[in-house]
Structure 1
Amino acid sequence: MDTMRDRFTTTVTRLLDEDPRLALVLAEISRDRLEDAEHRHPDRVINVGIREQLLIGTGAGLALAGLRPIVHTFASFLVERPFEQIKLDFGHQGVGGVLVSAGGSYDWPAGGFTHMSPGDVALLDTLDGWTVHVPGHPDEAETLIRHAVAAGDNKVYVRLSQQSNTEGLAVDGARFLTVREGNGGVVIAVGPMLDAVLAAVEGLDVTVLYASTVRPFDAATLRRAAAKSPHVVIVEPYLEGTSNAAAGAALQSVPHRVLGLGVARRELRRYGDMSEHLAAHGLDPASLRERISAFLPVPASA
C-alpha cells in the first residue's frame, strides 16, 4: 500500500493538470517526488528552498494574485517554524490556501525533535477559520486533499502521517462517522488512531466515532452519540487534550466527562521507531484499553 505522502504527490500532480488556478509551493521536501509536476507546470510549481517563512509568504502571495496555493513540507516546518507568517500572511490578509504536512508527531524519530510536531493542531486552534483534516488512510488523504483544493478560498490544513489504518472509510470532509454503537460511553478516534482504538475497545459497550476532520468539530454527531452516556474519550495522534475544549463546548448543556488521550507533553529523548513512540505515549492498543477502561463506566463483556 502506498503512504499518505505518496498519495499526496500523485494526487497533486493530477490536480495541477486539471485546475489551472492551482499552484504548488515547496521547501525542498518531496521535490524529488514531484519532478513530473514541476516539468509540466514550471510556472505553478515553485521551490523556495529551505526557507519556511518564505514558503508561507509565497503561498499567501499567490492567493492574493487569485491562485489556489498548496503549500507543503514537514509539519514542524510548515506550522511551527513559520507560524507568524500563517497568522499574518493568510489570516490577517484574509486569503485562503491549503497547507499539507508530512511527518506527523513522530513519523521519523531518527530526525529528532526538530522533525516532530505534536502541537501543530493545537497551535492552529489559536487562529480563526482553519479547517483541519486528519486522514487515517491514503484513500482518505486523496479525498480530503481534493476536498480542500475545491473548498473555495478557505484556509485548510491537511495533516498526513506515515501511520495508517488498514482500510479507508467514506469520509466527507465534515462529519464524524459512527463506526459502532454502544451504551456506556463514546470514544472518538482521530485519523490513524482508529485501528488501535477498535482493538482497544473490543468487548466494551461503547460507541466509536471516527473523525478525519476535526475542525470544524462535529458537535452535533457527538451530542447524539453522548445522549446515552456523556463519558467521552478522544484519542488523537497529536498533543493530548487538543480537542477537549471543543468536546466540552459541544456538551455544555449536559453534565459530562472528557478524557483526552494523545501525545504527552514530555519530550522523549530516544529515537526508537514509531511503534515505540506510540507505546511510550500510551497510544498502543493495550495501553489504550487500560486507560479507556479506567475512565469509562463500562465493564468488559464476558
Structure 2
Amino acid sequence: MTSVTQQPARYDCRADFAEELAKLARTDDRIVAVCNDSVGSSNLVGFRDEFPDRLINVGIAEQDMVGVAAGLANAGFVPFVSAAAPFLTGRAMEQIKADIAYTGRHVVLCGQSPGIAYGELGPTHHSIEDLSWMRAVSGLEIIVPADPSETRAAVRYAASSGRPVYLRVPRFKVPTVTPDGAPFEPGRATCLAEGGDVTLIAVGTMVSRALDAAGLLSADGISARVLNMAFVEPIDEAAVIAAARETGAVVTVEEGLVSGGLGAAVAKLVAEHHPVPVRMLGVPGFAPTGSADFLLDHFGLHAEGIRDAARQALGQVRR
C-alpha cells in the first residue's frame, strides 16, 4: 500500500479578519467598517448584518472611501477601510498620504487579496506594488500576517494602536505557522526555526513556504533560520542585523515586487550594518495572467525556489 503524506490544514485569513473585527466591534462602538462595494469579497456580510449602521459602503470610489475614513477618525471613530489591495493603494494614494499618514489619523487600511491572488484577472488586479508604495509613506505601520492567529492579532493590534496602519489580508489559504503564545509587537520578528548557515526572512503567504524550504535545506545538511517578519514597518532591525552576523547569508521572500518591499528593507539594513550576500525573491515586474499557483511557480516562490536561492547566497559567502 502506498502511503500518502497528509497535508496540513489551510485557512482563509479573510474569515478570521472579519470574525475578529466583529468581535471587537461588540465591545467597542467606535469601530466602523468602510468599503468600496466590497462587502462580499471582504467577508463583511456578517458585520453588515450585525451592525448595519456601522458599515459605510461608498461604492466604487476609493478616494472618497479613504477621505470618509479620515473624517470618521477625526470624529473619534476607529475606521477599518476594507478594499481590494490594488485599488485601495493605487487609486487612493494621495488620500492615504495626506489625509491619513500626514495627519496621523487612526485609520486601519485593510488591503484584501493582495499580491497575485487575483491571478486570472491579470496585471490590473495584481497588488504587487503595495508594500513598496506603503513603505514610501512616512508614519504608516505595515503588517503582513502569515496565518489566521496572526491575522486576528493584527486586527486587535491595529484597533488599539492609535496610529495609521496598512494591513495585508491574504486571499488564498495558508497553514498555521505561529506558535502558541508568540508575541505580536511592532518591530519584532518571530523566529520559527533556528539555524546558523543561512537566514530565510519571509512575510505573509510566503512564511509557510520558507519553512518548507528550511526542511529541504536541512536534508542537504544546511541549517536555515526562518524569520516571520510580520511588521514590515517598523521592521525588526536587530533580528535582521543578527541574522547577517550570525548566519552570513540572507534570503527574503515576499508576494510582491522585490524593489521597495521587504527585500529592499532588509538589504538596506544588511548593507549598512553587516554586508553579506542577500537574495531577494518576489516579483521582478508586471506579472502575467494566470492562476495564483501558476504565478507563484512562475516566479520560483515555492520551497524549491527558496532552497535554490539559499544555495546561491551560500555560494557567495566568503569562508
1:226 aligned partner: 244
Listed as ranges, the gaps of 5+ residues in structure 2 are 1-9
Q: How does 1:38-77 map to 2 (within 5 A)?
A: 38-77=48-87
Cα separation, 2, equivalents of 1:56 and 1:25? 8
Q: How far off is 1:217 after superposition?
A: 0.7
Q: How far off is 1:298 after superposition?
A: 9.1
Secondary structure of 1:227's match? helix
Q: Contact between 1:173 and 1:212, CA under 8 Å: does it hold in 2?
A: no
Q: Contact between 1:185 and 1:297, CA under 8 Å: does it hold in 2?
A: no
Answering whether residue 257 of structure 2 is matched by residue 277 of structure 1, we say no
2:277 aligned partner: 257
The CA RMSD over aligned residues, in Å, is: 2.0
What is the TM-score when the length of structure 1 is the normalising length?
0.91
Amino acid in structure 2 at the alignment position of 1:263: V
Amino acid in structure 1 at the alignment position of 2:156: R
Q: Contact between 2:131 and 2:262, CA under 8 Å: does it hold in 1?
A: no
Answering whether residue 185 of structure 2 is matched by residue 173 of structure 1, we say yes
1:37 aligned partner: 47
Cα separation, 2, equivalents of 1:189 and 1:213? 11
- How many residues are aligned here? 296
1:9 to 4, 18, 30: 18
> Quick one: percent identity of the two aligned structures?
30
Answering whether residue 141 of structure 2 is matched by residue 131 of structure 1, we say yes
Q: 1:290–1:93: structure 2 CA closer, same or farther, 3 Å change rule?
A: same
Secondary structure of 2:176's match? coil
Q: How far off is 1:200 after superposition?
A: 2.0
What is the TM-score when the length of structure 2 is the normalising length?
0.86
Answering whether residue 199 of structure 2 is matched by residue 186 of structure 1, we say yes
Per-residue CA deviations over 1:100-124 (Å, capped at 9, x if unaligned) read 1211111122222222100001001
Cα separation, 1, equivalents of 2:115 and 2:263? 18
Per-residue CA deviations over 1:11-60 (Å, capped at 9, x if unaligned) read 21222211111111011113484344334433321111111111111111
1:212 aligned partner: 230
Cα separation, 2, equivalents of 1:196 and 1:35? 31
Q: How far off is 1:218 after superposition?
A: 0.3
Q: 1:114–1:249: structure 2 CA closer, same or farther, 3 Å change rule?
A: closer
Q: How far off is 1:240 after superposition?
A: 1.4
Cα separation, 2, equivalents of 1:191 and 1:36? 25
Amino acid in structure 1 at the alignment position of 2:250: V
1:150 aligned partner: 160
Q: How far off is 1:229 after superposition?
A: 3.1
Q: How does 1:86-125 map to 2 (within 5 A)?
A: 86-125=96-135
Listed as ranges, the gaps of 5+ residues in structure 1 are none
Q: Contact between 1:233 and 1:260, CA under 8 Å: does it hold in 2?
A: yes
Q: Contact between 1:144 and 1:173, CA under 8 Å: does it hold in 2?
A: no
Q: Contact between 2:116 and 2:255, CA under 8 Å: does it hold in 1?
A: no
Per-residue CA deviations over 1:127-166 (Å, capped at 9, x if unaligned) read 10111111111221111111111112x0111101123442
Q: How far off is 1:171 after superposition?
A: 4.8
Answering whether residue 313 of structure 2 is matched by residue 295 of structure 1, we say yes
Cα separation, 2, equivalents of 1:191 and 1:173? 16
Q: How far off is 1:80 after superposition?
A: 1.1
Secondary structure of 1:286's match? helix
Cα separation, 1, equivalents of 2:11 and 2:296? 21
Q: 1:208–1:235: structure 2 CA closer, same or farther, 3 Å change rule?
A: same
